[in-house]
Amino acid sequence: MEFVCAFAWADLHVGDSERAFIDRLIERMDLGSDRGQIEAWLRHPPPAEDVDPTRVPLAHRELVLDAARELVQADGRLAPEEQEMFMLLEQLLVD
């Protein structure tokens, strides 16, 4: 979730639709016990050094990629920064 929250900050603003998406993701993944930390990452972006795509376990890479894809599309627009960040993430996780 830290990675997904970092993605929410790609355009330097976490919008209501992005917050709502992450809230649904918390419910879907049964992460209620982590809600406080996740909300903290939505108030302030996670430190860059904590968000290293190479540390995402192979078994979770597709899930992270899917969540990031859904997140950047949550507000109905794709900012250039979001598109660039997603493409980079995809390269790092798939290659």
Query: What is this structure's pTM?
Result: 0.82
pLDDT digits (tens, 9 = 90+) for 28-65: 999 999 999 999 999 999 998 888 888 889 999 999 99
What integer pLDDT is reported at residue 74 of this predicted model? 87
CA–CA separation, 16 and 14 (whole Å):
7
Q: Which residues constitute the domain of residue 17?
A: 2-94
Total domains in the fold of the chain: 1
Range in 56-60, 61-65, 74-78, 86-90 with the lowest mean pLDDT = 74-78
Residue range 16-23: mean pLDDT, rounded = 94
DSSP 76: S
CB-based contacts of 24, cutoff 8 Å, min separation 6? none
